[in-house]
Amino acid sequence: MAALLKTDLGGTPLLGRGKVRDLYAVDDALLLVATDRISAFDHVLGSGIPDKGKILTQISLFWFDLLKDLVPNHVITANVEEYPQALRPYRDQLEGRSMLVKRAEMFPVECVARGYLAGSGWKEYRASNTVCGIALPPDLKDGSRLPEPIFTPATKSHDGAHDENISFAAMEKMIGAGAAGELRELTLAIYQRAAAHAESCGLILADTKFEFGKTAERVILADEVLTPDSSRFWDQKTWKPGGAQPSFDKQFVRDYLEEIGWNKQAPAPSLPDEVVERTRAKYLEAFRRLTGREMGK
């Protein structure tokens, strides 16, 4: 089974390639295509994970549908039959892994909701008992549930570096108090809805990040949403505060790269088949548990 690492849609204007997605201009819309590329430590690796792009896209579409009464989104259609005629010859690169979406003026912030302490939040908490300037109770552990979910914005990185956590006051200065307040409210409402659904599937949504944009009419949810690439999902049965939790993402990849002592500089190595297979299985398990479906059905 081959991984799709790069798309080529003939004369369709390519606007850019991210770590995972290729972005094309299609008339007054955009085409997002999720490839099977995988990154770790801010580098795209030499191997992909077969079907990863399809799994991520289908998870996003599931959530966009589940959340549509809470917040409008940017999806026009994910059905290749409804794409412009010029894209039809590229069905093999588009089926199941692409979305035709509205253009929007994107807000220059990542909107992060945290219900549990992990990652950069845990690192900051250890140093100051705060996350993004929000004071938290003493004696929390890595993986602890927070008294209530918190909103912790971050700046978007455009050069491949890490996003940087910022305070809500800094976000207000960047985009205005009204927009900042609306995005905080939306982010926490979406998190609450998504965390409740995850819980019904035996999963914990520890934290997640959203991207919002603005059209002439309204604020919309954009990019991908609530996938293992943008969210930490943990299994309720194995959750135990006091250390890093096993998650439904690319943990096998990161562990392998640490084991081989990669210096985290380009060129990034390729992955052995076993790591590829175990990572693919983890993404598929997340899809099955969250949606209640098998891929392709």
Res. 156 pLDDT band, cuts 50 70 90:
confident
Check whether 221 has a pLDDT greater than 60.
yes
pLDDT at 296: 74
* DSSP H or E segment with residue 130: strand 130-131
- What is the tens place of the pLDDT at every residue in 119-132? 889 999 999 999 99
Residue 276 has pLDDT above 60, yes or no: yes
Is 56 a residue whose pLDDT tops 80? yes
In this prediction, residue 217 carries a pLDDT of: 83
Residue 293, pLDDT > 90, answer yes
State how far the alpha carbon of 19 is from the alpha carbons of 35, 53, 57, 281, 282, in Å: 9, 11, 15, 21, 19
CB 192 within 8 A of CB 150: no
* Residue pair 146/114 in contact by the 8 Å Cβ criterion: yes
pLDDT digits (tens, 9 = 90+) for 18-36: 999 999 999 999 999 999 9
Beta-carbon contacts of 297 under 8 Å, excluding residues fewer than 6 positions away, are none
C-beta of residue 146 within 8 angstroms of C-beta of residue 136: yes
Spatial neighbors of 291 by CB under 8 A, at least 6 apart, are 58, 59, 62
pLDDT in tens, 252-274: 898 999 999 999 999 999 999 99
Does residue 107 carry a pLDDT above 90?
A: yes
Residue-averaged pLDDT of the chain: 94
pLDDT tens-digit readout, 207-219: 999 999 999 889 9
CB atoms near residue 12 (< 10 Å): 16
State mean pLDDT over 65-72: 97
Res. 244: pLDDT tops 60: yes
- Which domains are seen in the chain, by residue range? 1-103 (3.30.200.20), 105-238 (3.30.470.20)
Residue 44's DSSP bridge partners are 39
